[in-house]
Chain A
Amino acid sequence: MSERPTAQELTEAIAEFLGGEILPILDDHRLRFRTLVAMNALSIVHRELAALPQEDDAGRRELARRIRAGEVPPGTLAAVKADVEARLQVTSPRYLDGY
C-alpha cells in the first residue's frame, strides 16, 4: 500500500468532515436527512473498498530502493514519470493539462 491516504482512508476523512463539521450546523431537516443518507452511502463505499484486494506496490518499492542505492540506468526517469502520471490520472487529471 503506497498511496496514502488510501481510498478507504479518504472516505473516512470525508465522513468525519460531514459528521463533525457539516451536520452540526445544518438546521434544515431535509438537508440533515440527506447528509445522513450521504454519510451512509459513504460507509457503503468504505466497506466495499475493504473487500477489494490491496494494491501491490512491490514494483514501486523495488524501484525506490534501487534509486536510493544509486542504481539509475537510462530509462529510469521515463519509468518513474509514467508511474507518477498514472497516479495523477486518478488524483488530479487536469493538472497534466498545464504541461
Chain B
Amino acid sequence: MIARMRESLQAVLGPVSEPVLLAGGASKEAWAVDAGGERLLVRRAAVGVIHRHTLSLRQEFEVLSAAYEAGVKAPRPIAYLDDLDGREAFVMERLEGETIGRRIVRMDVPAELPVQMAEEIAKIHAIPRTRLPFLEDARLERMVEELDEFGEPHPAIELGLWWLRENRPPAREPVVVHGDFRIGNLVVDERGLVGVLDWEFAHVDDPVRDLAFSLVRAWRFGVPERRLGGIGDAEPYVDRYNELTSFDVRAEELDYWELAGNVGWAIGCLTQAQRHLRGQDRSVELAVLGRLGAEVEYEICHLLERVGVV
C-alpha cells in the first residue's frame, strides 16, 4: 500500500521519500513525505467520518488555498489528488512546530500569542464568501437535531440550549469561519503562531462564535485559569480582533458564544461515542469521550451560574 501511494505521489510531485504515517487523526490520515528538499504532509481520507457536516478533502483544499492566498499563516497548499491509493487526499507544506495542545500550554510561548491568534482569525473572517461558494451557513438548530438522534436525556445540555435560545445576541453579518479555531489546531513554536491547521469545519457563521471557540474550557488543556486556550487572557485577543475588524465584540457576546461552544462540544462528545457504539469506529478513546462529556456539562452549568441563571 505504501509503495502504491508513493508511486501515485511521484506522478504528481516527482521523486518522494517513503511516506511515513503520523500519529493521531481519527478521520484523516496524515503522512509525512519529502520531495525536492521540501517537507510535505499528505492528508488522506480514513475510514469513517468524524462528523457528517465536514468538508470533503477537495473542499478543504480549496479553503486552505483561499486562506493561504488571503495571507493567513497556514501550510502552503500543493496539490489535490482525487485518488491516492483508492481515497482522496491533498498535499501541503509540513510546518515545523508543536501541534499537541497539552504540550503547547506547557511551552514557553511568547506573550504575543493571543494577539497573533487574533490577527490570523481576523484575516480568515475577511475572506470573501464568494471565494468559497460551497461553504454552508451554520444553523444553531443543528445542535438540537444531533442531540435528538441519541435519545439520551442530558438536562445540562438542554439547559444550555434553552439559555442560548432565550438570550441570542443580535445577529451579525455571517462571514467565512474556520469552525475549529483553537489551540490544538495551531502550529506553535517559541516565537509564537506558525500556522493554522484543520480546515475541515470551515463554514459561514457569526464571526464571534468562531472567535469564542478557543475559550472553551476543554481546549485549555488542564490550565483552566487561562481562558484563551490555556495560554493567555481573552482581553488582548479580543482587543486586537476588534482593532482589526471594527466589529466591536462585547464581553456578553463573547460569553454567549463561549457557552454555545461548550454546548456544541458536549454534543460532540456524544457524537464521537456514537461512532464507537454504532460500530463505525470501535475505539476505547471514543467510548470514554461519551462519559467525559459530563465535564463539559459541568462547565455549561458553571457558565450558566456566571450569567445569573438560578
Chain A interface (Cβ < 8 Å from any Cβ of B)? 2-5, 9-10, 13-14, 16-17, 57, 60-61, 63-65, 67-68, 70, 72, 74-81, 83-85, 87-88, 91-92, 95-96, 98-99
Contacts and interface: CB of A to CB of B under 8 A. Distances in A.
B304 A77 contact: yes
B305 A77 contact: yes
A85 B305 CA distance: 14
Nearest to B293: A91
A13 B289 CA distance: 12
Interface in B274-298: 276-277, 282-284, 287-288, 290-292, 294-295, 297-298
Given A14-B284, A60-B153, A64-B153, A77 B292 contact: no
20 contacts: A4-B270, A5-B290, A10-B288, A13-B276, A13-B284, A13-B287, A14-B284, A57-B153, A61-B153, A63-B155, A64-B155, A67-B155, A67-B158, A67-B162, A68-B161, A74-B310, A77-B309, A79-B155, A81-B305, A92-B295
Interface of B: 150, 152-156, 158-159, 161-162, 222, 224, 270, 273, 276-277, 282-284, 287-288, 290-292, 294-295, 297-298, 301-302, 304-305, 309-310
Given A64-B158, A84-B297, A88-B294, A10 B153 contact: no
A83 B295 contact: no
A68 B297 contact: no
Pairs of residues from A and B, 7 with the lowest C-beta to C-beta distance, nearest first: A64-B153, A67-B158, A81-B301, A13-B287, A61-B153, A63-B155, A80-B155
